[in-house]
Amino acid sequence: MTSRPHLQKLVERVRARPPLEAALVHPVDRESLQLALSGAFAGYLAPTLVGPERRIRDEADRAGLDITRLPLVDAPDDPRRAAEHAVVLVRAGRAQALVRGALPVDDLLAPVAAANSGLRTSRRLSHALFLDLPGQARPLIVTDALVNVAPNLAAKKDIVHNAVVLAHALGLAEPRVALLAAKGTVAPAFPSTSEAAALRSMAAQGAFPGALVDGPMTPDVAISAEAARHAGLRSAVAGAADVLVAPTMESAVMLSRALVGLTGGVAPGLVLGARVPIVVPGAQEPIESRIGSCVLAALLHAATGDAPALADPPRPRSQPAVA
């Protein structure tokens, strides 16, 4: 079995904490139910299943999974409605995170982003991956490979801020953030280079406290000390980056998948920027990565705290109401 030393360090930290109370949204597939059971067995999660009760129990029976001990909130057999129920749970302080089941990402995030959700913050939502790559001395955070397709400068500011918050939660006291581009200097043909320079100026003015931010920078220069030396770049970030901020979603996806594919690494991730962490595993994502995402969520919650109760939630039907 491949060693995951960076992820394992995070797992050890989570084991010392109470399980994360998570609303697992529309878990009408085997993989989602297996995640709930595996997370509960490992002690990382205290999951509440939110979705159509009969369909969930039928799927569990077909898969041979015993979910009788898991609380379940019955919701209409509609992904968006199930997500709305889960948001109510979070608002009431009955859940500390959201976990995607068998529903589109948009159906999960739309109720979170709604003006009256109670889960919005002043920042845009963004996504970050935690890459544990065999043979590499440190993990990498790559952003944004899921939420923001072609972010403008204002969006990139939020993306950087969210990534720094995650890095702090994972134990990096002063994360080194590389603003990636196709060139290491400002070039009119590549707008991402001027946006990186603008973000670097914001950082110099204190926009991202507790982080070292530099760019524009090509990916090789960001992660390889040898490449940084060859480029003649004197920077505290070059060759030692902890966070890679890609200019577009497309480039973030290609970068992260290339690194994971070449090395056999693992890349759990989170949606950031809401008042609670949001786990959004892909349909084909292995259980190792799904559990890893829940570990990230638990550490982020530990660092940022609970969302206050705002309303009464629907009560789990498989356990008595709490007085």
pLDDT at 239: 95
Q: Are residues 185 and 81 in the same domain?
A: no
Q: Are residues 211 and 171 in the same domain?
A: yes
Label residue 305 by pLDDT band (50, 70, 90): confident
List Cα–Cα distances, 200 to 176, 190, 196, 300, in angstroms: 12, 16, 6, 25
Q: What is the mean pLDDT of residues 256-274?
A: 97
Label residue 233 by pLDDT band (50, 70, 90): confident
Q: Are residues 24 and 92 in the same domain?
A: yes
Q: What is the mean pLDDT of residues 12-39?
A: 96
Both tokens of 49, joined, read: 């299943």
Structural contact between residues 310 and 116, judged by C-beta atoms closer than 8 angstroms: no
Residue 313 pLDDT greater than 70, yes or no:
no
Question: How big is the CA angle at 73 (ends 70 and 79), to the nearest 5 degrees?
Answer: 115
The tally of domains found in the chain comes to 2
CATH for 321: 3.40.50.10950
Label residue 56 by pLDDT band (50, 70, 90): very high
DSSP 186-200: -BTTBHHHHHHHHHH
Question: How big is the CA angle at 119 (ends 305 and 21), to the nearest 5 degrees?
Answer: 50
Domain termination site, one of 232, 256, 273: 273
Whole-prediction pTM = 0.92
Label residue 283 by pLDDT band (50, 70, 90): confident
DSSP 213-231: EEEEE-HHHHH-HHHHHHH
